[in-house]
Structure formats: C-alpha cells, structure tokens
Amino acid sequence: MQAPVLAVDGPAGSGKSSVCRGVAERLGLAYLDTGAMYRAMTWAMLHAGVDVDDPVAVAAAAAPVAIRSGTDPLAPTIHVDDVDVSGPIRGPEVTAAVSAVSAVPEVRERLVALQRREVADSVSRGTGVVVEGRDITTVVLPNADLKIFVTADPAVRAERRAAQDAELGNPVADVRQTEADLRTRDAKDSTRAASPLAQAADAVVVDTTAMTLDQVIAHVCELVDGLSG
C-alpha cells in the first residue's frame, strides 16, 4: 500500500513509542510522536513560569510557542522555538504537568492542526506515517488506513516506565508508586473534556503484556501488509 497512515493510541507505558518507531523503521515510514508535542508545550509552560493548573494562562502563553517535530524513527527530535527539548521533556517535572496542559482545549486544537499538517506532508511525499498518541484514532486521524489501540497490564506498564526512567537517568520511583501514578494519569486522560483517551470502535487492540517488542512490531507489520491484500 502506498503511503499508508497508521494511527496508534494507548495509555502511558503500553509500549506505543517503541512499537511505532520499530514499525516505521521496518516499513520505511515517517514517525510522529504527538505525546512529545504535548510534553514540549508543557516544557515551554514550565520554562516560562506559567501556572499549568490555570487553563486561561496556559492558553494565552501557548499561542506563540513554535513546536517542530522531526519524523525520522531512528532519531526523532522535538524543538520548542530553536531549543532541542528531546531530553528535558522526559523529566519528572514535565511528566507530572503534561496531563494538565494537554487538557486545555486551545492547546489541543492548535497541536491537532499541526499534527494533521505533518501527516499531510508525509503522505504528499509518498512516505506514509505512523502517528502515536492518545486521541489519534478518535480525533486527529479518524480516517486513518489502520487504527491500533496498544495496551498492557498496569503492573507491566509500571515496570516498563521504571526501566525507561532508569535508562534516561531520571529518578526511579518505587514500581508500585509508578503503577499508581500511571493509573491516575489514565483516569485524567480518559475523563478530560477535550479529546479524551478512548479506544476507537474500529481500532485493532494489541495487548503487549505477554509479548516481546519484536513480536508486537511483527504483528503490526502484518496488519499493515493486510491492508493491501
């Protein structure tokens, strides 16, 4: 299939990023991490001293922020204005604040428009794209060629998040506390008024709890191959 558009949703720690990067690399597609875009906006708010719990202040401060995403799955990048924030956006301060910033309707409206432009650019280049996030299948790309909802048991997701934090050099919380934090974020993301995390009715559910990363990537690639069958 020429220039396929894959939309992938799922909760934090489910393995979305690793899976999407792996699929994009294997199939020669562009890769767009929309979660990084919301984290970048959150970093911008914190950097500017904006109260992230004040949606009016966030909406006003977010308007002039320029966010630029690199779509190479081997080396994805994210910039706020001219600052590379690929590292800082993964820190605990941003993680704690991103749900609040992501819930601001004006932020979502602006970033969704940017995400759709990135997808249109990839398709026009003939490369296709894998887009991951929390509202991609339901809001951003409801007409995607393939919709996938990646999930995993919360305990497994907590272990993965703890391992990721260790790899990034971030403070590693107790796994049980990490699981509690993930459940809290799941609840916030699923109940926010603007574009909540939800499983699209026509999305293929991929439970990664008992699967290796290679197995999940291979499975998703098979689903993409089936599009041209």
> Hey, where are the domains in the chain?
5-228
**pLDDT tens by residue, 89-113:** 999 899 999 999 999 999 999 999 9
Nearest of 94, 96, 104 to residue 59 by alpha carbon? 104
Residues of the chain under the 70 pLDDT cut: 1, 168, 170-173, 229
**pLDDT tens by residue, 6-47:** 999 988 888 899 999 999 999 999 999 999 999 999 999 999
What was the pLDDT predicted at 173? 66
Instruction: Report d(CA 196, CA 135) in Å as an integer.
Output: 7
Q: Which CATH superfamily is domain 5-228 in?
A: P-loop containing nucleotide triphosphate hydrolases (3.40.50.300)
Instruction: Report d(CA 15, CA 13) in Å as an integer.
Output: 5
DSSP 228: G
| Tokens of residue 85, six digits | 């924030």
Q: Count how many residues are written for the chain.
A: 229
Instruction: Report d(CA 145, CA 3) in Å as an integer.
Output: 10
